[in-house]
Amino acid sequence: MTVRVGVIGAGMIGQDHIRRLTEVVAGAAVTAVTDIDGPRAAEAASRVGAAVLPSGRDLIGSPEVDAVLVASWGPSHAEHVLNAIAAGKPVFCEKPLATTAADCLRIVDAERAHGRRLVQVGFMRRFDAGYRRMKDVLASGALGAPLMVHCAHRNATVPESYTSVMAAQDTAVHEIDVLRWLLDDEIVSAQVITPRRTSRRFEHLRDPQIMLFETANGVRVDLEIFVNCQYGYDIQCEVVGEAGLVRLPDPAAAGVRTAGRHGTAVPQDWKERFGDAFDAEFRAWTASVASGAEPCGPSAWDGYAAAVITDAAVRSLESGGEVVAVGLKPRPACYGGAAA
């Protein structure tokens, strides 16, 4: 069976995912595209022979669409995801699931009322080969209990539209998700402190930021967010346990020796660094839709948890560095928790 996907949002990542679903992932085809920017939708659709539909609602209701991919601006995600659940269609939503924790909870409630999981959130790092190897090492018990995690998330530059709170909402949200999964633990507090600002930033921005998280098991995490580091897209993660440590491998790159130096290229953006993870993420999603199984990737609950934790980080930043407790609701049984 070919899964017929309708894509809402044909911007940067929407177009990349349309290419991926068309050229890379077996068993998927993009049959419809919509975007509030009509010409952009038309151009993206014409490249793959898809229909252009006037709105997300029309696309979700189309009989030519089996499953929905939401890749529009964050504030529009909740409406599209809720409409897809109401139509009983599987929906892949790029991060964030929604821009408020309250909207994420509405999605969780709608999915529970529907009776089975339909939502997968686009936290692609869970599909990255390096993070998966780290998870295997931690699960093997070879390191004993994890004690500390050191992370860095660096972008070469960000546009002027990127604001200080996006360091948590847009950037750190990837570590927040992948660490909950990697450690199989919950984040219970967040604190954000701000070093001297880089001169290579737009004036309004606090960059870099250092985020400190504590988990329910007492693991301490430090995360450097530096989104104008200039030199490339650099993701680092090291988990220190009682008997050793495990480090995220850098992507494989040829070592070049020339002019008295030895070096490897640093990826320049997330597309390059996580291209394979995005491919794996969409292969898994397509397979689950084709077989009628529930999605195996990050759930609506994970989207909700990430929103609550990023809210705590934003509150800490805005308070000048207070430690802010994370107040998650009890996790329902259908998301692996104990609550009814």
151 binds, among ligand NAD, ligand INS, none (CB under 5 to 8 A by kind): none
Compute how many other C-beta atoms are within 10 angstroms of the C-beta atom of residue 284.
Answer: 17
**Would you say 215 or 310 has its CB closer to ligand NAD?**
310
Nearest distance from C-beta of residue 13 to ligand INS, angstroms: 8
Nearest distance from C-beta of residue 209 to ligand INS, angstroms: 12
Residue 155 binding ligand INS, by CB under 6 A:
yes
Residue 270 binding ligand INS, by CB under 6 A:
yes
- Which residues, numbered 68-107, are part of the site for ligand NAD (CB under 6 A)? 71-74, 76, 94-95
Buried b (16+ CB within 10 A) or exposed e, 112-123: beeeebbbbbbb
Nearest distance from C-beta of residue 225 to ligand INS, angstroms: 8
Nearest distance from C-beta of residue 270 to ligand INS, angstroms: 4
The residue at minimum Cβ distance from ligand NAD is: 11
Among residues 103, 111, 170, 175, the one that binds ligand INS under rule CB under 6 A: 170
- Which residues, numbered 255-274, are part of the site for ligand NAD (CB under 6 A)? 270
Residue 120 binding ligand INS, by CB under 6 A:
no
**Would you say 35 or 170 has its CB closer to ligand INS?**
170
Residue 35 binding ligand NAD, by CB under 6 A:
yes
**Would you say 27 or 75 has its CB closer to ligand NAD?**
75
Size of the site for ligand NAD (CB under 6 A): 24
Residue 171 binding ligand INS, by CB under 6 A:
yes
3-state SS track over the chain: CCEEEEEECCCHHHHHHHHHHHHHCCCEEEEEEECCCHHHHHHHHHHHCCEECCCHHHHHHCCCCCEEEECCCHHHHHHHHHHHHHCCCCEEECCCCCCCHHHHHHHHHHHHHHCCCCEEECCHHHHCHHHHHHHHHHHHCCCCCEEEEEEEEECCCCCCCCCCCHHHHHHHHHHHHHHHHHHCCCEEEEEEECCCCCCCCCCCCCCCEEEEEEECCCCEEEEEEECCCCCCCEEEEEEEECCEEEECCCCCCCCEEECCEEECCCCCCHHHHCHHHHHHHHHHHHHHHHHCCCCCCCCHHHHHHHHHHHHHHHHHHHHCCCCEECCCCCCEHHHCCCEC
**Would you say 74 or 332 has its CB closer to ligand NAD?**
74
337 binds, among ligand INS, ligand NAD, none (CB under 5 to 8 A by kind): none
Structure tokens at 110: 């709608």
Among residues 3, 5, 7, 10, the one that binds ligand NAD under rule CB under 6 A: 10
Residue 36 binding ligand NAD, by CB under 6 A:
yes
48 Cβ contact partners less than 8 Å away, ≥ 6 residues apart? 18, 22, 29, 30
275 binds, among ligand NAD, ligand INS, none (CB under 5 to 8 A by kind): none
Size of the site for ligand INS (CB under 6 A): 6
Q: Do 154 and 224 meet the contact criterion of CB atoms below 8 Å apart?
A: yes
34 binds, among ligand NAD, ligand INS, none (CB under 5 to 8 A by kind): ligand NAD
Residues forming a β-bridge with 261: 258
Give the footprint of ligand INS on this chain (CB under 6 A): 155, 170-171, 174, 227, 270
Give the footprint of ligand NAD on this chain (CB under 6 A): 8-14, 34-37, 40, 56, 71-74, 76, 94-95, 122, 124, 170, 270
